[in-house]
Amino acid sequence: MQKKWWMESVGYQIYPKTFYDSNHDGFGDILGIYEKLEYLNDLGVNLIWICPFYDSPMDDNGYDVRDFFKVYESFGKLEDVKKLLDRAHELGIKVIMDFVLNHTSDEHPWFIESRKSKDNPYRDYYIWHDGKVINDKKVEPTNWGSFFGGSCWNYDELTDSYYMKIFSNKMPDLNWKNPKVQQEIVDVGKWWLDFGMDGFRIDAVSHLDRDSFVDIKNAKDKYPLDWHKFSNLPKVHDYLKMLNKSLFTTNDALTIGEVGGQATIKEAIKYAGFNSNELSMVFNFDHNWCNNLFDITNPKKLKTNVVDLKKTFNKWQHAFKDNGWVPLNWLNHDQPRLMSQYGDYKFPLQSGKMLATALYLMRGTPFIYQGEEIGMTNYPFEDVNDFDDISSRATYTYELEKTPDDPVRALKVASLRSRDNARTAMQWNKEEFAGFSDENPKVLVNRNYKKINVETQLNDQKSLLNHYKKIIHLRRFSEFKDLIVYGSYEQIDIENEYIYVYKRIYEHQTLLVINSFSRKKQVYQLNHYDIKNIVISNYDKQKIKNQELTLRPFESIVFEVKEKL
């Protein structure tokens, strides 16, 4: 296996709008990230991924790009990005940015041209189609649904035709079949790599090809959402091989593709196997669905399915063990908060530490999502107007249509899943607005910032934040660093529904990582091992008697061991 710098990195994801406001306008910005670089350096991360900061009308918080070469006004200027890159590089921190190439904003000049007429030179930059006529009425070319609700086609009066958009109406999909589009995107990527970026998180990359335009049969919904119609289709791999050859490899760029929850392991290997010549890694979301978050009909069910979770991690660790590399992330800006999904509100500190140990000692590259390291939680939404996110509003509308007399239920469902949970202001200190901004913030601030914030945790040796630091230190600087990065991974006792145990082995070293996902006392037998050391744990004074380890609620402990023969 060829070793790469990003295998030894620890990543951190930044949502610029809510990270830090440096210029007192209530909105996060690039210089805000610059000002917090020392914090990130001290935390130990050496790779940051910044969500979109391109110029945009902000229909989807910057994933709707109006100008690829300009920074959105409230985020700052190109010079600020340069300043950020220079300082990050001085500190040894690599920087990657979101590369949005499935769609643009409808305010992008290409689309403005494309709409104008059927023979405009930019017409084929997007996917246009005539409507169907049913009972003398014009309807969409197919009944396919979009991710943000409704049809995946939008009607445009100007030329009496429909354009495809699998996200919002303001995000028309680019036509990747057009070689000119491919070249434009290569030029955008090249420009940013020349500017100093170290790579990209590639947005919605599995959607670049579409199936033939045939209706989905026997659908319950008017616009059923069937991902297969626009996900992981064969041509996507041709496009990625082209991008890899003309852009990524030539610039030694790190590339992580977002392949959504729908890519199977087989498909993921096609994207990111060592020999695939496409991407460095892919983000998958399989482990995000192991807690019935999407089923609120029975609130009791809303708890982690530990066996499922273990099997999911195991599947990815094994599939990629000789063939490729995986990112290790609990969640991102599209998911509710880790503490509100897999953490335990009665044992926040213990469960938070356990979750960090469980994931970030696996084989792969960690990506910590901003605020995760201090245990930020979901937002207590009280009104539909609290939602800023376009898809949360769409979920609310959809749910309300199902039960028009029960807006409380609709709000509850939309809140549980809302992407806004992850997009509240970063909680820096106890001061007003959580120290995110000193002006009235234009983003939500969670009320619990006096309890949960960076400053308080920096001053507390036993805090979650300090546990994250220790884990990162172990990965990057300790005597176990090669083991943690390159060692083998083996899961033990996979059917145990409370304890997650795995072994990491490298040359003469073995680590045994034991994590309890339970509020109740659990017991684990250690008789196969001679214990050499305790490497890290989240409780004092371990309880081991006659080779039996008693685990307290959410206890997590890592031993250096020698296996008994």
Active-site residues: which are they? 203, 258
Dist. CA 283–CA 201, nearest whole Å = 9
- Cβ-count burial of 194 within 10 angstroms (0-12 exposed, 13-18 middle, 19+ buried)? exposed
Minimum distance of ligand NOJ from residue 497's CB (angstroms): 32
Q: What is the dihedral angle through the alpha carbons of 300, 302, 306, 307, rounded to the nearest 10 degrees?
A: 80
Our CB check for ligand NOJ shows the closer of 58 and 483 to be 58
Window 242-261: residues binding ligand NOJ (CB under 6 A): 258
Using the rule CB under 6 A, is 198 a contact of ligand NOJ? no
Which residues have CB under 8 Å from 163's CB, separation 6+? 114, 115, 126, 127, 128, 129, 153, 154, 156, 172, 173
Closest residue to ligand NOJ, judged by C-beta, is: 63
Q: Which lies closer to ligand NOJ via its Cβ, residue 334 or residue 432?
A: 334
Which of these, 269, 283, 384, lies nearest to 322 by C-alpha position? 269
Contact between 388 and ligand NOJ per CB under 6 A: no
User: How far is the CA of 308 from the CAs of 171, 479, 496, 527, in angstroms?
Assistant: 35, 32, 11, 27
In the complex with ligand NOJ, the residue whose CB is nearer, 36 or 333, is 333
> Least distance in Å: CB of 419 to ligand NOJ?
7
Give residues 318-357 in contact with ligand NOJ (rule: CB under 6 A).
333-334
Q: Count of residues binding ligand NOJ (CB under 6 A)?
A: 9
Q: How far apart are CA 317 and CA 304, in angstroms?
A: 20
Of 6, 27, 54, 63, the one binding ligand NOJ (CB under 6 A) is 63
Q: Which of 29, 140, 203, 388 binds ligand NOJ (CB under 6 A)?
A: 203
Q: How far is the CB of 462 from ligand NOJ (least distance, A)?
A: 34
DSSP string, 82-101: HHHHHHHHHTT-EEEEEEE-
Among 96, 181, 204, 293, the residue binding ligand NOJ under the rule CB under 6 A is: 204
Token look-up 């792969």 returns 364
Which CB sits closer to ligand NOJ, 334 or 439? 334
Residues in 260-279 at the binding interface with ligand NOJ, rule: CB under 6 A: none
Round the CA-based radius of gyration of the chain to a whole number and report it.
24
CA–CA separation, 248 and 255 (whole Å): 7
Indicate the residue type of 292: N
Q: Residue 60 interacts with ligand NOJ (CB under 6 A)? A: yes
Asked if 68 is part of the footprint of ligand NOJ (rule: CB under 6 A), the reply reads: no
CB 270 within 8 A of CB 257: no
Residue 417 interacting with ligand NOJ (CB under 6 A): no
Residue 167 binds ligand NOJ, judged by CB under 6 A: yes
Least Cβ distance, residue 184 to ligand NOJ (angstroms): 18
Q: Does residue 80 touch ligand NOJ according to CB under 6 A?
A: no
Which residue number, 192 or 433, has a Cβ lying nearer to ligand NOJ? 192
Task: Give the single-character DSSP code of 142.
Answer: S
Is 308 an interacting residue with respect to ligand NOJ (CB under 6 A)?
no
**Residues within the interface to ligand NOJ (CB under 6 A):** 60, 63, 100, 167, 203-204, 258, 333-334
